[in-house]
Structure 1
Amino acid sequence: MTLALSEQTVIVTGGARGLGAAIATAFAREGAKVAINYRNSRGEAETLAESLGDRAKAFHADIRDSEAVRRMVSDVTNTLGAPTTLVHNALTDFSFNGDQRPKLDQLSWEAMTAQLDTAVKGALNLIQSARPAMAAARFGRIITIGTNLFQNPVVPYHDYTAAKGALLSLTRTAAAELGPLGITVNMVSGGLLRTTQASSATPDAVFDLIAASTPLRRVTTPEEAADAVLFFASPWARAVTGQNLIVDGGLVFG
C-alpha cells in the first residue's frame, strides 16, 4: 500500500522553527495535513500553522514525555486524522559553534543524556504512540533526522553526534521490525544548514569553508533538506527502508 503525499497526515517534531518549519512547509505545499509539534515555541508554531492553511495545526508536547506524546497523537488523530507519517526533527537546546562546545575533558554525562532523551527517547515515544494506527492501516512512514558528522566528525559535538548515532541504530532496528507491518523507517542526515536558529551561532568563515569544500560549492538550505524528507514519505520510496541519506551538497560520501 502507498499513499500520495496529499493523502498523508504528518507529525513534525520541533516543527516550529528552522529545519522543522521547512519540513512542515514542504509537506503542506504537497497537500498533506501537517501537525506542527512544539515544546516552547508556541507563538512560532501557531503562526506557521496559520500561514500553511486549514490543513495545518500546532500541537504542544514535550516528546521526552511518553504520556504527553500519547495525548498529542490522540489530539492529532481527532483533529487531522490518524498520523501516517512521523518526522522526528526535534533537537534539545544546542548551538552549532565548535568553539563553544565542551571537549571530552569537560563533557558531562548530563549533557549526553539531554541529547539522548530528545533524539532517542523522543523517537521511541513517537513510534510507540503512532504504531497501532499505522499497523492497522498497513502503512507508515517514519523519517528521523541525523547528521553528516557520523562520517566527518570535525567539531567536538560529542553529545549531539553520539545521540544521533544512537538514533541511526534505532532507525535501522525499527525498520527491521516494522517492515512487515508496511512501515518504513529512514533517516535524512544534513550537514550544517544555512541558516537555522541552531546554526546562527556558526561563524561566517565556517560556512564559507564548507561551501568551498562541497562539489556544489554552496551550503545546503533547510528547504533542500526538507525535500529529501519528502522523498522518503513519497510513493517513490516505497521499497526503501533502514537507509541514511546524506544531504550536504556532497561534502561527505556515505
Structure 2
Amino acid sequence: MEMNEQVVLVTGSSRGLGAAIAKAFGQVGAKVVVNYFSSKEKAEEVVEQIGNDQAIALKADVRNQTEVNNMFQHAKDHFGQPISTIVNNALIDFTFNGDERNKLDTIGWDEFQTQLDGSVKAALHTLQAGRNDMVKQQFGRIINIGTNLVQNPVVPYHDYNTGKAALIGLTRSMAKELGADGIGVNMVSGGLLRKTDASAATPDEVFNIIEEGTPLQKVTTPEDVANAILFFASPWSRAVTGQNLIVDGGLVMK
C-alpha cells in the first residue's frame, strides 16, 4: 500500500517525537490519527500543521482497551477506511534525567509496571484493535518505538529499558504470527533526542558528550527518527519484519 493510501495512527503524538512522526506521515500524503491522552491543544496544533482534511486528533488512554477500540472505530468512520499503520510511540510518566532516576536500592516494582503497561500493554491493545481490518486488507504495518539504551544502558533508566526490552520480544513474536497476513512488525530505536519535552530535563553536558562520541558527530533529532519510521511503513520495507533498527548516528552499532 502506498503511503498516501494509508491511515496512520501515531500514539502519543501531540508533542515531541510523536508529533514529528505524525507530521512526517502528513508530508507524504498519509491520513493521520494524532492520538493524545491529556494534551488536547497540542494535538490539535499538530492536526492544523498537517491539515484538517488529512488528520484528526483523538483522545485515548492506550492502556485501556475499550478506549483504544473506540479510537480505531472513530478513525475508520472519519476517514472511511480503517487504520492500516500503527506507530506505538506513547511514553507514560517518564522524563530523561539519569540523576533523578531511582537505582536498584530504591526503585519499586510499580515503576517497572508503569513502563511495561506503557510499552507492552499499550502495543498489545493497538494490535488487537487493528488486526482484523489489516487481515481483511492483507496489509498492515506496525512500528514500535524502542531505545538504544537496551543495547547500551549507560544511564539508570531501569524501568524504561525493561519495558522497551520486553517490547522487542513482542515485536518479534507478532512479526511471526502476523506475517502470513501481510502485516509487518518492526521497531525503531532512537537515542537521546534533541530536544523534546521528555528530554528537556537532560543536562546539556549529556548532549555534548553524545555528540562528541557519535560517529556522525551530532545528536539525533525527532525528525531523523521519523524518517526511518517512514521506511518501515513504505512499500520499500515489504520484505522486512521482526527487525529493530537503531537510529542514533552510529553511537550503538549492531
The residue number in structure 1 matching 2:220 is 220
- DSSP 3-state at the match of 2:72: helix
**Is contact 2:23–2:49 with CA below 8 Å preserved after alignment?**
no
Deviation at residue 61 of structure 1 after TM alignment: 0.3
Instruction: Flag structure 2 segments of 5+ consecutive residues without an equivalent.
Output: none
The residue number in structure 2 matching 1:71 is 70
Q: Give distance in 2, aligned partners of 1:95 and 1:143.
A: 22
Deviation at residue 120 of structure 1 after TM alignment: 0.4
Q: Give distance in 2, aligned partners of 1:65 and 1:150.
A: 26
The residue number in structure 1 matching 2:185 is 185
Provide Cα deviations, 1:191-231, integer angstroms capped at 9, x if missing partner: 00000000000000000000001000010000010000000
Q: Give distance in 2, aligned partners of 1:206 and 1:220.
A: 13
The residue number in structure 2 matching 1:29 is 27
The residue number in structure 1 matching 2:17 is 19
The residue number in structure 2 matching 1:45 is 43
Identical residues among aligned pairs (%) = 58
Deviation at residue 51 of structure 1 after TM alignment: 1.8
Aligned pairs for 1:53-202 within 5 A? 53=51, 54-80=53-79, 81-202=81-202
Q: Give distance in 1, aligned partners of 2:41 and 2:240.
A: 36
1:7 aligns with 2:8: no
Q: Give distance in 2, aligned partners of 1:16 and 1:93.
A: 15
Letter in 2 for 1:213: G
Q: Give distance in 2, aligned partners of 1:203 and 1:39.
A: 27
- DSSP 3-state at the match of 2:185: strand
How many pairs does the alignment contain?
252
TM-score between the two structures when normalised by the length of structure 1? 0.99
Deviation at residue 178 of structure 1 after TM alignment: 0.2
**Is contact 2:88–2:143 with CA below 8 Å preserved after alignment?**
yes
Q: Give distance in 1, aligned partners of 2:213 and 2:77.
A: 47
Letter in 2 for 1:158: H
Runs of 4+ residues over 6 Å off in structure 1: none
Q: Give distance in 2, aligned partners of 1:75 and 1:106.
A: 42
The residue number in structure 2 matching 1:236 is 236
Provide Cα deviations, 1:74-95, integer angstroms capped at 9, x if missing partner: 0011012200000000000111
Q: Give distance in 1, aligned partners of 2:137 and 2:58.
A: 23
Q: Provide the aligned C-alpha RMSD in A.
A: 0.5
Deviation at residue 27 of structure 1 after TM alignment: 0.2
TM-score between the two structures when normalised by the length of structure 2? 0.99
Deviation at residue 127 of structure 1 after TM alignment: 0.2
- DSSP 3-state at the match of 2:144: strand
Deviation at residue 118 of structure 1 after TM alignment: 1.0
Q: Give distance in 1, aligned partners of 2:59 and 2:169.
A: 27
- DSSP 3-state at the match of 2:200: helix
Q: Give distance in 2, aligned partners of 1:18 and 1:140.
A: 25
- DSSP 3-state at the match of 1:199: coil
**Is contact 1:50–1:57 with CA below 8 Å preserved after alignment?**
no
Letter in 1 for 2:93: D
Q: Give distance in 1, aligned partners of 2:234 and 2:8.
A: 12
**Is contact 2:146–2:167 with CA below 8 Å preserved after alignment?**
yes
**Is contact 1:19–1:226 with CA below 8 Å preserved after alignment?**
yes
Q: Give distance in 2, aligned partners of 1:194 and 1:93.
A: 19
Instruction: Flag structure 1 segments of 5+ consecutive residues without an equivalent.
Output: none
